[in-house]
Amino acid sequence: MKIVVAGGAGFIGSHLCEYLLTKSHEVICLDNLLTGNKKNLKNALKYKQFRFIKTDVTHKLPEDLGKIDAVFHLASPASPNLNSPISYHTLAMETMLVNTQGTLNLLNLAHSNKARFLFASSSEVYGDPQVNPQPESYRGNVSTTGPRSVYDEAKRFGETLTSYFVRKKNLDARIARIFNTYGPRILPQDGRMLTNFILQALSSKPITLYGKGEQTRSLCYVSDTVMGLTSLMFIDNLAGEIVNIGTTKEHMVKEYAKMVKELTHSNSQIVSTEKLPQDDPLVRRPDINKASTLLNWFPKVKLPQGITETINYYRHA
Stretch that binds ligand UDP, among 31-39, 56-64, 91-99, 209-217 (CB under 6 A): 209-217
Minimum distance from residue 33 beta carbon to ligand UDP (Å): 21
Is residue 210 within the footprint of ligand UDP (CB under 6 A)? Answer: yes
Q: How far apart are alpha carbons 189 and 86 in whole angstroms?
A: 7
Q: How far apart are alpha carbons 68 and 3 in whole angstroms?
A: 6
Contact pattern for ligand UDP over residues 213 through 252, marking x by CB under 6 A: x-x-x-----------------------------------
Q: How far apart are alpha carbons 71 and 82 in whole angstroms?
A: 31
Q: How far apart are alpha carbons 280 and 196 in whole angstroms?
A: 17
* Dihedral sign of CA atoms 225, 227, 230, 234 in order: negative
Stretch that binds ligand UDP, among 2-10, 15-23, 27-35, 189-197 (CB under 6 A): 189-197
Residue closer to ligand UDP, measured from CB, 15 or 284: 284
Q: Could you tell me if 190 and 10 are in contact, meaning their C-beta atoms sit under 8 angstroms apart?
A: no
- Amino acid sitting at position 208: T
Residue from 193, 232, 243, 311 binding ligand UDP (CB under 6 A):
193
**Using N-to-C axis directions, what is the helix angle for 193-202 and 253-264, rounded to 10°?**
30
Q: Is 210 a catalytic residue?
A: no
Is residue 277 within the footprint of ligand UDP (CB under 6 A)? Answer: yes
Minimum distance from residue 61 beta carbon to ligand UDP (Å): 29
Minimum distance from residue 150 beta carbon to ligand UDP (Å): 13
Binding to ligand UDP (CB under 6 A): which residues in 103-122? none
Residue closer to ligand UDP, measured from CB, 255 or 280: 280
Binding to ligand UDP (CB under 6 A): which residues in 46-85? 80-81
Q: Is 263 left (phi over 0), alpha (psi -120 to 50) or beta?
A: alpha
**Using N-to-C axis directions, what is the helix angle for 11-22 and 222-234, rounded to 10°?**
60
Residue closer to ligand UDP, measured from CB, 161 or 270: 270
Residue closer to ligand UDP, measured from CB, 55 or 272: 272
H or E segment to which residue 149 belongs: helix 149-169
Residue 173 three-state SS = strand
The active-site residue, picked from 151, 221, 256, 314, is: 151
Is residue 196 within the footprint of ligand UDP (CB under 6 A)? Answer: yes
Q: How many CB atoms lie within 10 A of CB 302?
A: 12
Minimum distance from residue 281 beta carbon to ligand UDP (Å): 7
- Amino acid sitting at position 245: I
Instruction: List, in sequence order, the alpha helices (H) in 23-116.
Output: 92-112
Residues that bind ligand UDP (CB under 6 A): 80-81, 180, 192-193, 196, 208-210, 213, 215, 217, 253, 277, 280
The residues that are catalytic are 151
